[in-house]
Amino acid sequence: MNLVDTKQLWQFSPIPNIEESNFNKILERFFNLRISGLTRENTQNALDGKIIGYDGPVVLTIKTGTIKKTEVPGIDEVIDRIKCLKGRNSYTKEAIEHMINKVDQEEVSYISFEDFNTRGLKGALNGQSNSKEDTWAIYAYNKGVHSEEEDEAVETSRGGSHGVGKIASNAASDLNLMFFANCDAEGNQHLGGTVQLIEHNYKDQSYRSSGYFTDIVKLENIKSKFYPFENKFHEVFEKKTRGLKIIIPFLREEYNNENEIIKSICDSFFISILQKKLEVIVNDKYITNETIQDYVFSADYYVQEMAEMKKEFTPLYVKTYLNEEPKSLTVTDGKVDYKFNLYFNYNEAIPKGRVAVVRTIGMKIEDKKIQGNANKPYNAILIGGAPEDAYLKSLENESHTELSYDHIKDPELQKRAKKFISNLTREISKIIEEAIKSNNPTDGLMNTKDILYVVENEFKRDLTDTMSTVKINKGKSIVKMNTEIPKKKKKSKDGKKSNEPTTPRNPVKRVKSQPLADDGIEQEKVRNKYITNPDIVERLILGNKEMVRFDFSESKEINKETSCDISLSIIDGMGVEYSDEFNLKENYSQVIDRITGKVCKIENNIIKDIAIYEGRAQLQLELTKNFNKALKFVYYVEV
């Protein structure tokens, strides 16, 4: 470093008194987002900075490593400030203590994000400037502000809008510390940085919470102005090609995970990568249009069993995007109609239904749950054009992770936004319901006369319970409604009704026991029959096959058995059981024991001799044309 050691590298603005004793609340918000929030913000910034008119992809290089503490520019000044901080509540005391515990490391971890085929920041030589064209000044010295493009179409397509994402990098550092190296179109190379502390006293003077890695020049009228340092620092902080490089020293341990970094890139930017807008290199791993499937469809990164995809949906999204033709979807906010492409995949093996809402820049905003359809078997991606992109941008929350109307201040715009989000849910729900109906047609094979009769009688019985008879002259009578409505049973603090047992429901409940007979001679062994709790049964229908899994591991009555027989009964939406309505042989052409691979016998409408291994039994049932996929069952086990 060519700067003299006595020169002050970090600047904090002096204030008369300390008034705010908390860390910036946005720090905690991005800290909770962890790696996904960090990579999302810095990748989005790279895409926003693409050279206008360039047709190739933006390339982002992400590196992790270690560096000597002494090579971090101005680190001694930062540490001196940290040691002066005074916590005035439990949160700030804990945060300050954490910082102090980290400052004595001789070697520290870091992560860097370096982009290529990007413009970089302009106007660094002008220092602290009020010009909209000087993007260096906006990025380096202004909070809550992002620069705006002169070209409206370019500005609309950009990911950023709130101007708070810059602090995501600070949140990833144990010291809330970050640097940014810039090389502009003329080849000028500069280094800036910020540190987020709390307001503090230092050498008998009070200072603001934010510190800037910058030079300061005194002007003639006693005012001062920030100017950036020419970049002559350690190679980790170098940026010699046009573009921007983010460097975060004292990287938090929970952020230093290469697999999670790769996953977060695939999760948020799979569309950008598939559309060849973005290529990312994580250390020596290349994620491109040609290689992304190597990561997304690898068990080293994602769960590959479809039935287990309940929290991460990227493998499903990629398959949906590559294999499905988009459907047209129109959503209105009451005044404007927005037109989207919806890539939609219905598959009964999918356990959780989600819609990836994606901006045209290729960044996913959220895995949207459609109300009432979160557990339906579908997967979808929603992408619009320029007008739709502009509107979605206005609905993003500050961390770009959800469509919301809460941050919109104008009552009319907020009302329209609320209506749009509601209509979006309704329109996608229609497509989901259509897919369910077309894939599960009602075949009318089930005789519902008895069901209707039972439901009607249950209703009459419940109605009678609320009435009392009043006799009048000549033996005639009328009925009078009982106005005393039964009170709902109170719930305890843990949410259970007062008369509910505090212990968990039994996996199975005994129905009856009977002695086994052999050639008319009763044996000592007793045959027990149990009804299963629905929680221990998993069903999955794939085409003309049904997979059923029983988990008896928590059942002391069954888990030590080696085999069992299973029968089933239809149960309707009212919870009423119909034990004689379902014929196994008419609905299943074959039943295979998945543990032994053997074909099971069906006798007297009972599946016989099913193996139990480690407390579990598994069946594969071949469906006939008569089978109605909409039916629900209750299962009985005999051991």
The answer to the question of residue 445 being in a domain is: no
Q: Contact, 244 vs 99, CB < 8 A?
A: no
Q: For the chain, what percentages of helix, strand and coil (3-state, to nearest 5) are there?
A: 30, 30, 40
What kind and span of H or E run contains 416?
helix 411-439
Instruction: Kindly state whether residues 515 and 625 are assigned to the same domain.
Output: yes
The answer to the question of residue 352 being in a domain is: yes
Instruction: Kindly state whether residues 249 and 374 are assigned to the same domain.
Output: no
> What pLDDT, in 10s, does the model give residues 186-201?
999 999 999 999 999 9
* Residue 445 confidence (pLDDT) above 60: no
Instruction: Kindly state whether residues 184 and 107 are assigned to the same domain.
Output: yes
The answer to the question of residue 301 being in a domain is: no
Instruction: Kindly state whether residues 429 and 567 are assigned to the same domain.
Output: no
The answer to the question of residue 495 being in a domain is: no
Instruction: Kindly state whether residues 428 and 514 are assigned to the same domain.
Output: no
Dihedral, 57, 263, 380, 404 alpha carbons, nearest 10 = -90
* Spatial distance between the Cα atoms of 601 and 594, rounded to a whole number of angstroms: 14
Write the secondary structure of 331-395 as one string of H (helix), E (strand) and C (coil). Answer: EECCCCEEEEEEEEEECCCCCCCEEEEECCCCCEEEEECCCCCCCCCEEEEEEECHHHHHHHHHH
Selection from 539, 530, 486, 478 nearest residue 508 by Cα:
530
- At 409 the pLDDT is 86
Phi, psi of 270 (to 5 degrees): -60, -35
Strands 229-230 and 189-196, sheet pairing: antiparallel
**Structure confidence at residue 504 as a pLDDT band (50, 70, 90):** very low
The answer to the question of residue 366 being in a domain is: yes
Cβ burial of 488 (10 Å; 0-12, 13-18, 19+) is: exposed
Instruction: Tell me the mean pLDDT in the region 442-467.
Output: 49
Domain boundary among 195, 228, 256: 256
* Spatial distance between the Cα atoms of 337 and 334, rounded to a whole number of angstroms: 8
* Spatial distance between the Cα atoms of 76 and 200, rounded to a whole number of angstroms: 17
Instruction: Kindly state whether residues 329 and 242 are assigned to the same domain.
Output: no
Give Cα 170 distance to the centre of its chain: 23
Structure-token pair, residue 478: 């009328």
626: DSSP letter: T
Average pLDDT of the residues of the chain: 83
pTM of full prediction above 0.85: no
**Structure confidence at residue 441 as a pLDDT band (50, 70, 90):** low
* Residue 449 confidence (pLDDT) above 50: no
Structure-token pair, residue 161: 């809008």
- At 99 the pLDDT is 95
> What pLDDT, in 10s, does the model give residues 245-273?
999 999 999 999 999 999 999 999 999 99
Instruction: Kindly state whether residues 80 and 205 are assigned to the same domain.
Output: yes
> What pLDDT, in 10s, does the model give residues 34-67?
898 899 999 999 999 999 999 999 999 999 999 9
- At 428 the pLDDT is 95
Lowest-confidence segment of 29-38, 65-74, 115-124, 621-630 by average pLDDT: 29-38
Check residues 473 and 565 and name the one with the higher pLDDT.
Answer: 565
Instruction: Kindly state whether residues 252 and 315 are assigned to the same domain.
Output: no
Domain boundary among 256, 279, 298: 256
* Spatial distance between the Cα atoms of 199 and 430, rounded to a whole number of angstroms: 53
- At 398 the pLDDT is 65
Instruction: Tell me the mean pLDDT in the region 464-490.
Output: 44
The answer to the question of residue 221 being in a domain is: yes
Check residues 152 and 553 and name the one with the higher pLDDT.
Answer: 553
Instruction: Tell me the mean pLDDT in the region 160-184.
Output: 82
Instruction: Kindly state whether residues 74 and 144 are assigned to the same domain.
Output: yes
* Residue 542 confidence (pLDDT) above 90: no
Check residues 609 and 498 and name the one with the higher pLDDT.
Answer: 609
Q: Of the ranges 42-51, 56-65, 141-150, 209-218, which is most confident?
A: 56-65
Instruction: Tell me the mean pLDDT in the region 570-587.
Output: 82
Dihedral, 360, 364, 369, 371 alpha carbons, nearest 10 = -20
> What pLDDT, in 10s, does the model give residues 596-612?
889 999 999 999 999 99
Give Cα 276 distance to the centre of its chain: 24
Domain count, the chain: 3
From residue 38, alpha-carbon distances to 27, 41, 95, 280, 482 in Å are 11, 6, 19, 15, 63
**Structure confidence at residue 175 as a pLDDT band (50, 70, 90):** very high
Lowest-confidence segment of 199-208, 479-488, 582-591 by average pLDDT: 479-488
144: DSSP letter: S
**Structure confidence at residue 222 as a pLDDT band (50, 70, 90):** low
Q: What residues make up the domain containing 398?
A: 306-438
- At 357 the pLDDT is 94
* Residue 82 confidence (pLDDT) above 90: yes
Lowest-confidence segment of 155-159, 328-332, 531-535, 552-556 by average pLDDT: 155-159
> What pLDDT, in 10s, does the model give residues 366-384?
999 998 899 899 999 999 9
Instruction: Kindly state whether residues 80 and 177 are assigned to the same domain.
Output: yes
119: DSSP letter: -
**Structure confidence at residue 217 as a pLDDT band (50, 70, 90):** confident
- The enclosing domain of 616 has a CATH number of 2.60.120
- At 541 the pLDDT is 87
> What pLDDT, in 10s, does the model give residues 301-333?
999 998 889 999 999 999 999 999 999 999 999
**Structure confidence at residue 31 as a pLDDT band (50, 70, 90):** confident
**Structure confidence at residue 470 as a pLDDT band (50, 70, 90):** very low
* Spatial distance between the Cα atoms of 172 and 112, rounded to a whole number of angstroms: 11
Question: Partners of 522 in the beta sheet?
Answer: 517
The answer to the question of residue 52 being in a domain is: yes
Question: What residue spans of 18-134 are helical by DSSP H?
Answer: 25-48, 75-84, 90-102
Structure-token pair, residue 492: 């305890």
Q: Contact, 324 vs 431, CB < 8 A?
A: no
The answer to the question of residue 262 being in a domain is: no
Selection from 128, 402, 118 nearest residue 279 by Cα:
118
Instruction: Kindly state whether residues 180 and 52 are assigned to the same domain.
Output: yes
Question: CB count, 10 Å around CB of 431?
Answer: 18
* Residue 446 confidence (pLDDT) above 50: no
Domain boundary among 221, 237, 256: 256
Instruction: Kindly state whether residues 231 and 350 are assigned to the same domain.
Output: no
